[in-house]
Amino acid sequence: MQRPTGRIAQFWVTINGITQPIDQWRYGIHDSDPARFGSLKANKPFTYQAIHAELIHNGLSVETIPPEFYFWPTADEREEGVNMIFREVPVRMGFRK
């Protein structure tokens, strides 16, 4: 039987253009904190289904992926007029017998 080792890894989802109509939003998935970078790649058309599929492709299980509303800007973010948001997706990774 395999058991989780408990090691925590993470992905970051950046969503750019949130002051624009949703069809102009772009996202990117990063395996390290994107706030450390001056230039972020968030150039894929935003849909929850696309984010979900890419996170699964990166090894996340369906149960660990946050719901769709997690990737939407909050009321505070909208009120402040931020153009890019960051969402951390922590993941338990690694298994042992």
In whole angstroms, give the CA distance from residue 97 to residue 86: 35
Beta bridge partners of 47: none
Which residues of the chain register pLDDT less than 50?
1-7, 94-97
In whole angstroms, give the CA distance from residue 15 to residue 82: 11
Q: Is the CB of residue 91 less than 8 Å from the CB of residue 7?
A: no
Range of 7's domain? Answer: 3-96
Q: What is the pLDDT of residue 2?
A: 38
Q: What is the pLDDT of residue 85?
A: 92
Total domains present in the chain = 1
- DSSP-derived secondary structure letter, 41: -
Q: What is the pLDDT of residue 80?
A: 96
Q: What is the pLDDT of residue 9?
A: 57
pTM of the model: 0.77
In whole angstroms, give the CA distance from residue 85 to residue 77: 8
Q: What is the pLDDT of residue 95?
A: 38
Q: What is the pLDDT of residue 35?
A: 66
Q: Furthest-apart CA pair in the chain: how many Å?
A: 49
Q: What is the pLDDT of residue 74?
A: 95
Beta bridge partners of 13: 29, 87
